[in-house]
Chain A
Amino acid sequence: MQVVGVTTQQELYIASRERKFVINEILVVEDQGRHNPRVEVVATQSFNRYIPLTTERNGLVDEKVLAGLQAVGYNVQEEELNLARARVIGEISTPVVVGSKVRRPAFSEVSQLLVRVSPAEGLVLGTIRGTENLVDELPEDLADVLCLCSPGGSVTSQEGVPFIFDYRSMDQYPHIGVFGGSGSGKSFGLRVLLEELMIKKIPGIALDPHYEMDFSVPFPGLPGQHYLDCPDRYRVFTVGVDVGVNFEELTSAELVALLGTGEPLSEAMAGAVFTIHKRKDSLQSFSDNVKDLINAMEDPRLTRTEPGGRRDPLEAQKAERYRDLSERYGTRVGGAGTLRGISWRLNALAEQGLFTAGTAAVEQAVLGRKLAIIRGPVRLLQTYAAYLFRRLYHQRRNYRDAVKRQDQAPEEWFPPFVIITDEAHNFALRGDREPASKRIIREIAQEGRKYGVNLILASQRPALLDDTVNAQLNTKLIFRTVRAADIAVIKDETDLGPEETGRLPYLNSGNAFISSAITGRSIPVRIRCTRTASPHSQNPFDELVEQSRAGDDKFRRVIKEHLPFPTFNAELHLTAIQEKLGAKISFNEILEKMRMLAAEGLLQVEKTPFGEQYILKEKSDEH
């Protein structure tokens, strides 16, 4: 290998006849004057001399031409020339000498560039692409620290130098973004991050709208020593079941946001909530106030005290309350319809159990350095999460601020933690709307660093994510991205060069560029195989086949007991079959299925004087 062509202080070309270059591999240029700089291959090319000729001027090179040349010693292979464009890593002030020899490095020559912290001190996320040939030289603590897997799911051993993320530096460069199109490997990558957080016992809160964050099953085919058995490192919560809102602690704005789950409140409704809701209102007191106000508005007589006076003191008291409510709020809350809307929504939330449990259990988990996984219906989860994040963030902030002020009676300790969410653009959508979720995410993005609160935000659409938030993500994992708008944002927000952004649309699932202020240059990484699997990470089409096969099996088992099955008085069997199947299957559906089984050769039709009847096929090999 040799430096050819023109070089600059940043870039050079390397040519080789014998060896194909590997994208992203690191090579050493033997140029003493510049202290043998390391370079990274950013583009590779191989060409056969006669192929450009074919396309440019010669038409197709026919077989006979090659045969005629081969007969006199022409070797097609020999015409191949491999060319690499390489970028100098670090800085040199003068271009390397053209003609310099280039060679593959020993691991010790590039270890500083590739590995900044040991696996014990960082998050082991995958292998660095282009380092495959260094794997034999790895020191013990870097060898076999992870497994890889193919998109098909088969597990292979670690091929390459591990990429270890120095998470401690997040106190300088906080927050991680995980971007990529559908199926590019974001969720898989998030799982890897979560596993690593658990291994390091870094507390976190992860939202799980798809009920897939479960770490109880080993990844299929994973060698035993790589499995992460961590039942005590995470806890799963479901909104409305074991986690919810402490109504008394809600601000009016939060209440408006919660009530707006699904569909935002109208201005009149929001206004009414702000008017009626008081700090420390309980669910009971707030909802009574709303209901009574509705009554008073619908029936003004209720507010009057009859001339001559009511005898019943209870009645009088009630009238008093109605009057009081309508005097205080009557003119400021719109009509009874508006209030009924509020009441209805409040009930809906209460029915989902949102107000039955508070956040204490989650706080407990975080205090215990666990990962808290929050499940729930997507929309509710979103509004709820905004509330939860704010609460926990403020606890952490109050504690830190108190420590800083050296308060006499410091707040109770609350640990630093990480917030993890997929579909993050739903929380902080770029644009003018300022929902509660966006305010809190943005606040943490901007100030979380001071308090050790970090975000890990994944999104298919970086272009839809709020700019301020985007700009604060100091580390970005960029998976396959096809949309031009998203690539444009990535160009602006990362140090990915044109070679890298040009490759984004073609990355395989699980391959990413990690662009980070911490590592200083973008590094191509193949994300490792997860140590655990989601219990239901089944291909939906496999699932389809499997389910219907299970259904068919059951049907066959049941129908077998009813053979021979006469079509002419099938009603006799119908109820029994329905019962055994546990499904309301119609007579026609049964016949349809029988016909299919007959077509598959499992049943046989027999003619009888009364009509047809199905019997078991002789010597059929039922399986």
Chain B
Amino acid sequence: MLLSNPVSDELKAINLALRKRIYAKEEIRERLARELGRFCRLSHFSQQEAREWAGGREVAAVDGSVNYLGALFPYILCIFRALARTTGGDRTAVTEVFSPLLPHHYRELTDLSREQDLDNELAVNIVKERKLVAFELQVAMETVVRKSPRLVIFDGGFVRYERHAPEAWSRYRQLALEKEIFSVGLIEEAGSFGLGRELNLAHYGNPVFDRELLLGLMEPGECFLVDFERYVKKPAFYTAFARLSRNPQAVAFDFFKEQARYASGVLNYLYTITPAGGRGVPLLLDIVDAEARISDREMDLLLEAYLDVEVRERFFAANRLRRDL
């Protein structure tokens, strides 16, 4: 197929512009090291080292998931599930259903949309995010109280918790700091953390995302530790970057500022429990992720078991079809 000139020209132009955004790796490394922090090599813990680092405590991971049914307000149904589990096999889970079809949930939504002047669908999204975060913190909190692990790994950055559940988050933070429980938030899709901003990189006013910068920047087993006094995202957090496997995309890690000096130890441990050929995520988090998720099939089974055919057909079927499109 021959494309008409304007289209192919523009595609070529885009290609050219994007090529210019690919920065020379050496240059970026050099500037990062000079201006923001330092690159270090991580090392695998031996079993003995890992034991010493953990000091007899376990490691926990926290993850949450939402499944939807329906798309048109108010014929929506969400099933939340949050899970914390420790390496010793201790599990804390919360599963909840949320739907504007239930009067008290409906009220919760309309209150929110009135208060913030939002339409209902947006309000649903916010409530959803809030609930998920709240459940995750709930299970994390219980685990911390009961098990006092060495480390809690969250699936996602700390900003989410702070934004959507500030009170619960601050309670968690306080307890974790008190009990010297390291906490790390792992961000696979490192969006923007201000590395680009700090280096004054911008393109025609477009901000440069950190993920662009970080791709292939580090060797496997390498990390970039920002100087402790700098912060790249939020004053309360300390963020580091590392490439834990052969996957070229680096992962970002949020720590409490107070625990910044433990970051390299935590990263060494995470590096140890990350499969070298995987996508760069510690195995424990993958395990919890798999347990927390409700698969489509499980979802279907649940719905088939508890919703009558007529109810499903009348209120959700058409919507579900739409969702699949």
Contact = CB atoms under 8 A, between A and B. Distances in A.
B79 interface: no
B273 A69 contact: yes
B58 A64 contact: no
B272 interface: yes
A60 B277 contact: yes
Contacts of A483: none
Given A5-B301, A61-B283, A98-B305, A71 B277 contact: no
A237 B173 CA distance: 94
A58 B277 contact: yes
Contacts of A65: 272-275, 283
B150 interface: yes
A611 interface: no
B155 to A, nearest CB: 14
A489 B287 CA distance: 45
Given A49-B287, A53-B283, A73-B86, A68 B272 contact: yes
Interface stretch (B26-34, B46-54, B229-237): B46-54
B279 interface: yes
Contacts of B87: 69, 72-74
A550 interface: no
A351 interface: no
Contacts of B272: 64-65, 67-68
B286 A70 contact: no
A619 interface: no
A596 interface: no
Contact of B279 (A57, A75, A79): A57
A277 to B, nearest CB: 73
Interface in A225-252: none
Contact of A73 (B45, B48, B58, B305): B58
Given A58-B275, A59-B277, A65-B274, A79 B287 contact: yes
A72 B89 contact: no
A68 B276 contact: no
Interface string B277-308: 11100011011001100000010010011000
Interface string B237-266: 000000001000000000000000000000
Contacts of A98: 305
B276 A59 contact: yes
A54 to B, nearest CB: 8
B296 to A, nearest CB: 13
Contacts of B50: 67-68, 71-72
Interface string B14-54: 00000000000000000000000000000011111011001
Nearest to B283: A65
Contacts of B273: 65, 68-69
A50 B278 CA distance: 12
Nearest to A61: B275
Contacts of B287: 49-50, 53, 79
Contact of B89 (A52, A59, A78): A78
A53 B290 contact: yes
A65 B48 CA distance: 13
A469 B88 CA distance: 62
A299 interface: no
A365 B87 CA distance: 75
B88 A74 contact: yes
Nearest to A95: B305
Interface in A26-85: 49-50, 52-54, 57-62, 64-65, 67-75, 78-79
B305 A59 contact: no
Contacts of B305: 6, 98
B303 to A, nearest CB: 10
A70 B276 contact: no
A73 B88 contact: yes
Contacts of B245: 59
B57 interface: yes
A71 B301 contact: no
Contacts of B277: 58-60
B88 A68 contact: no
A75 B290 contact: no
B309 to A, nearest CB: 14
B150 A72 contact: yes
A159 B131 CA distance: 56
B47 A62 contact: no
Nearest to B58: A73
Contacts of A57: 278-279, 286
A57 to B, nearest CB: 6
A interface residue count range (under 10 / 10 to 19 / 20 to 34 / 35 or more): 20 to 34
B59 interface: yes
Contacts of A74: 87-88, 284
Contacts of A60: 275, 277
A49 B269 CA distance: 21
A52 B290 CA distance: 10
Interface in B38-90: 44-48, 50-51, 54, 57-59, 86-89
Contacts of B51: 71-72
Given A6-B304, A69-B273, A72-B57, A58 B279 contact: yes
Contact of B54 (A54, A61, A62, A71): A71
Given A58-B278, A62-B276, A69 B304 contact: no
Nearest to A4: B301
Contacts of A49: 287, 290-291
A62 B275 CA distance: 6
A74 B89 CA distance: 7
B44 A58 contact: no
Contacts of A75: 88-89
A365 B116 CA distance: 101
B149 to A, nearest CB: 8
A54 B45 CA distance: 21
Contacts of B278: 57-59
A5 B279 CA distance: 31
A73 B290 CA distance: 20
B286 A68 contact: no
Contacts of B276: 59, 62
Nearest to B270: A68
A78 B85 CA distance: 13
Contacts of B44: 64, 68
A496 to B, nearest CB: 27
Interface string A271-287: 00000000000000000
A50 to B, nearest CB: 6
A59 B47 contact: no
Nearest to A73: B88
A40 to B, nearest CB: 22
A75 B269 CA distance: 18
A58 B58 contact: no
Nearest to B246: A59
A344 to B, nearest CB: 74
Contacts of A69: 59, 87, 273, 283-284
A50 B283 contact: yes
A56 B51 CA distance: 29
B269 A68 contact: yes
Contacts of B291: 49
A75 B87 CA distance: 7
A64 B58 CA distance: 17
A53 B289 CA distance: 10
A55 to B, nearest CB: 11
Nearest to A74: B87
Contacts of A54: 275
Given A58-B278, A68-B269, 14 more contacts: A5-B301, A53-B287, A54-B275, A57-B278, A57-B279, A58-B279, A62-B275, A67-B50, A68-B47, A68-B272, A69-B87, A69-B273, A72-B150, A78-B89
4 tightest Cβ-Cβ pairs between the two chains A and B: A59-B277, A71-B50, A68-B272, A58-B278
Interface of B: 44-48, 50-51, 54, 57-59, 86-89, 150, 245, 269, 272-279, 283-284, 286-287, 290-291, 298, 301, 304-305
13 contacts: A5-B298, A50-B283, A53-B290, A54-B275, A59-B275, A59-B277, A65-B283, A72-B150, A73-B86, A73-B88, A74-B88, A75-B88, A98-B305
